[in-house]
Amino acid sequence: MNDYLRESLSYFGLYKKMFGVKKIFTPMHVPFGDHKDQYFLYYEPEQIISDKVIFWVHGGGWNAGNPRFFDYVGQCVAKSGYRFVSIGYRLSPKYKYPCQIKDVCSGYRAAVRYLEERRIDASKIIVAGPSAGAHLSSLLCYSRRVREKYDVDISHIIGFVGFGGPYSFRDDQSLALKLLLDQLFQKGYDRRKGEPTALMSPGHIPMLLIQSRHDGLIDYACAEDFAAKAASLGIPCELYSVTDKKDTHSWYTAGLFLETREENKTLDKFFTWVEEL
């Protein structure tokens, strides 16, 4: 069975498990703009095990999803003892790029300010995201052009984790990704202005790229391209290949947070990497 078909058939089991998650934490809803999707959710653990804060940018092909839909990710991370911020953004095809990265940058600034106003240590932030969220959060962390345009200070960021990110817009990309990019960008827009590999600047933030060779939507070479560019610029990078049986795009980019570290090697890798930073 090809990987795209395996990905398509995985949705029922994923959604069934997602909607069965017990809600332990009630996050704070904090708007940072006038649009309904311009907000972030803040999760405060009952027992904090670390002074690191995880900032999450959701996936969904740039055209779907929001922080509330991915509440189970916040529940998992907060249950593990980490403060967690989940940032929303306006969606395509109604809102074209760069609206999405503009919102992510605005949300990041607002969330840092929110933490500092409450005297919560925001000096050790790990930025992470799956799929479209990996694309957007990688631009925040590694594109000086983006940061200068949207006035972002990344001095608090100590690490980046991307799950299944479309970091390079390859000519041999899947049809599914091609259609999503066609929705994201205006016709005639120079897509290199939104491509993480093309926009990467020299920096210091270490990265963990989690990618599957059986993704079904995003080619493994996207992560290889990004890792190679990072190496050429002296940015510490680890490329981790998913070995779990649930290795299709939706499962390993977000569905892993529905399992435990004992059940899911990729989830354990994520938390272990964060712990060791």
Nearest to 14 by CA among 254, 188, 182: 254
Mean pLDDT on 110-136: 98
Q: What's residue 1's pLDDT?
A: 58
Mean pLDDT on 100-116: 98
The topology (CATH level 3) of 3-276 is Rossmann fold (3.40.50)
The secondary structure element, H or E, covering residue 91 is none
Mean pLDDT on 132-142: 98
Percent with pLDDT over 70 in the chain = 100
User: Which of the residue ranges 70-74, 101-105, 173-177, 242-246 would you say has the lowest mean pLDDT?
Assistant: 173-177
pLDDT for 16 beyond 90: no
**Domain layout of the chain by residue ranges:** 3-276
Q: What is the pLDDT of residues 46-64, one digit of tens each?
A: 999 999 999 999 999 999 9
Angle at 27 between CA 115 and CA 71, to 5 degrees: 120
The secondary structure element, H or E, covering residue 207 is strand 207-211
Q: What's residue 163's pLDDT?
A: 98
If one counts every other C-beta atom within 10 angstroms of the C-beta of residue 72, the result is 19
Cβ proximity of 107 and 117 under 8 Å:
no
Mean pLDDT, the chain, rounded, equals: 95
pLDDT for 137 beyond 90: yes
Q: What is the pLDDT of residues 47-106, one digit of tens each?
A: 999 999 999 999 999 999 999 999 999 999 999 999 999 999 999 999 999 999 999 999
Q: What's residue 72's pLDDT?
A: 97
Q: Kindly report the pTM of this predicted structure.
A: 0.96
